[in-house]
Amino acid sequence: MNLINHTGIALRGGLYVVTGEDFFAARSYREVVSACIEGGAGIIQLREKNWPASRIFEVGREVREITHKSGVLLIINDRVDLALALEADGVHIGQEDIPLRAVRKLAGSKLIIGVSVGTPEQALEAERSGADYIGVGPIFPTETKKDARFPRGLQILTQIRQAVSLPIYAIGGVKLHNVASVIRAGADGVAVVSAVVGAADITDAARNFVAEIDRAKTIIH
C-alpha cells in the first residue's frame, strides 16, 4: 500500500516505532530515536501518556530535529495542538480522543492523521472521516500498554484489509518471530514499542524488523 494522504506524503508501511521512556534503560531520547532511524524505522511516534505538555514539547523539539534531518516522519500521540506547535508530520488518535473530523478541521492538510481501530466498522468510519492510516490492534497479547484490550488476532487484519484501502499498521505484541504473519494477514507495516526501543541493540533490532517485513512483502508479491 502506497497512498498519497491529505498532506501529500506517501505512506509505504514498514517499521513504525512508538516511543516509551520506561523501556529505554536509561538511554536518552536522542540516542534511542537516532538508533531506531539508523536501523531503518520510517516513522517515529512520540508517545508519553504521563508527561506534561511542556515536557512533550521540549523533547519533541529535539526529536523533530532528528527526524527532519533524517527524512523520517514524526507523529505525536493524541495531542493535535502539540503536533501543530512542533510542526510534526502527524498526530495519532484513539477511539476515545477528539473525534477525527474535529482533528481534521484543526489540522487541515498540515498533518497526517492516524487512528487506532479494532473493528472493520471503526476502520470504515476512520476512512470516511479522513484518516490517512489506521493502527489495528492489539493483535497479540501485550504488556506494553497496560489498558490494552483483548488480543484481536490475525483474522481482524484480514477483515479490515478487505474493508478499507487505507495503509494498515499492526500493533500489539508484534515481535520478530511473528511480524511476517501480520504482513501476510494484510498489514502494510508494524508499530512496535519494547521490541525495538527496549532492545539491547536498538539499531540491530530495528534492522531485523525491516528485513523481515521486506522479506514477507517479497513473498506476498
Q: What pLDDT was estimated at residue 6?
A: 66
Residue 200 lies in a domain: yes
- Residues 26-39 have a mean pLDDT of 98
Marked catalytic residue, from 34, 47, 104, 161: 47
* Domain, as residue range, for 74: 14-220
Residue 1 lies in a domain: no
- Residues 158-167 have a mean pLDDT of 97
Please state, for a pLDDT cut of 70, what percent of the chain lies above it: 92
Q: Is 111:9 a contact under the CB 8 Å cutoff?
A: no
Look up 217 and say whether it is catalytic: no
Residue 9 lies in a domain: no
DSSP 197-214: HTSSSHHHHHHHHHHHHH
Marked catalytic residue, from 64, 79, 104, 116: 116
Lowest mean pLDDT among 12-16, 35-39, 90-94, 175-179: 12-16
Q: Is 63:33 a contact under the CB 8 Å cutoff?
A: yes
- Residues 92-104 have a mean pLDDT of 96
The pLDDT confidence band at residue 1, using thresholds 50, 70 and 90, is very low
Residue 3 lies in a domain: no
pLDDT at 145 exceeding the cut of 70: no
- Residues 96-119 have a mean pLDDT of 96
Marked catalytic residue, from 27, 110, 145, 217: 145
Residue 7 lies in a domain: no
Q: How many domains does the chain have?
A: 1
CATH at 157: 3.20.20.70
Look up 70 and say whether it is catalytic: no
Residue 120 lies in a domain: yes
Look up 116 and say whether it is catalytic: yes
Which amino acid, 173? Answer: G
Q: Is 215:14 a contact under the CB 8 Å cutoff?
A: no
Q: Bigger pLDDT: 1 or 7?
A: 7
